[in-house]
Structure 1
């Protein structure tokens, strides 16, 4: 069964997240391939490839991936106990779980903001190289702030529309049971 199409506004947000993630992944692939080929055949690897991958490409891909997965509802769910709960309690268990996740994400955003500002103040670089890395530290508070909003919204939706969980179960929604 196919899911209904996403609303236009949500689709635009998905594109704003996914297009940069795909672009960065593609650029990373080209950079790593060029480095490997130049190292193997010309004995002249691209300088600081590891630093660019570790401090730029991977954080961008990972944090945009977290936000996109939550937006699409595609995180893995292990509902060992949840399935056995009475139908009337499921929305509230979902709401408590989402609220706890929102609080945790807010804490990560708060802590990440302090670390990002500190990295900016000391103009942090990638290891002992001259490659600047402090801008990517701001991805942490941005991603977790976005996740905070998404989890808070999911909390509200769980309480407001308790039938949504029942509809997901009967339609065979995309969750993975362990």
Structure 2
């Protein structure tokens, strides 16, 4: 039976450094949080629809919960997981013609730039979240829905994306990016 490659063993590179394994695991945990937000969104909407259709009593605040809690949580917590699996949209027309090492260096350089920009976005999002938390910001609707916790969650999600892109950048520079074949094999393991 042939040995299947695990994501901790991309090609000849051996085991990933501990920090990369920790970041990858954190991305998995955040993806679980995104999945939980998706389930809660579905339950929230289901209760609203059933209440509206059968009891003529909708669940008040469904729109506010959906747009201020569930959608931001499910998108922002899933970004790092998508980056980990390289499932974001990439246009690689120019890169595809380059030798592998040159491509890794170029993608790593752009990764560094992205990390710097995302660190700024994380700082801005955290500042906004802390300001919102200082006065316990809520929606103007009835009932008022607290939105400040999810502004802080947004900062955490962007910070996790920043860490995962930093991990991807390190992999690029070290030549440890998994091949398409190892990613497919890894999906079979899960």
If the TM-score is normalised by the length of the shorter chain, which range does it land in?
0.7 to 0.9
For 2:5, the equivalent position in structure 1 comes to 4
For 2:59, the equivalent position in structure 1 comes to 46
Instruction: Assess if the C-alpha contact under 8 Å between 2:85 and 2:183 holds in 1.
Output: no
- How big is the shift at 1:17? 1.9
Match of 2:170 among 152, 156, 159: 156
- How big is the shift at 1:48? 0.5
Match of 2:179 among 165, 168, 174: 168
- How big is the shift at 1:139? 1.8
CA distance in 2: counterparts of 1:36 and 1:48, whole angstroms: 13
CA distance in 1: counterparts of 2:119 and 2:22, whole angstroms: 24
Q: 1:32-82 CA distances to partner (integer Å, 9 max, x unpaired)?
A: 011012112221101111111111111110111112111232222221111
Instruction: Assess if the C-alpha contact under 8 Å between 2:5 and 2:182 holds in 1.
Output: no
- How big is the shift at 1:106? 0.6
Structure with more relative contact order (C-alpha pairs < 8 Å, separation 6 or more): 2
- Structure 2: unaligned runs, 5 residues or longer: 9-20, 185-190
What SS class does the counterpart of residue 59 from structure 1 fall into?
helix
- Structure 1: unaligned runs, 5 residues or longer: none
Distance 1:83 1:4, change over 3 A: same
Q: TM-score, normalised by structure 2?
A: 0.77
Q: TM-score, normalised by structure 1?
A: 0.81
For 1:133, the equivalent position in structure 2 comes to 147
C-alpha RMSD of the superposition: 2.5
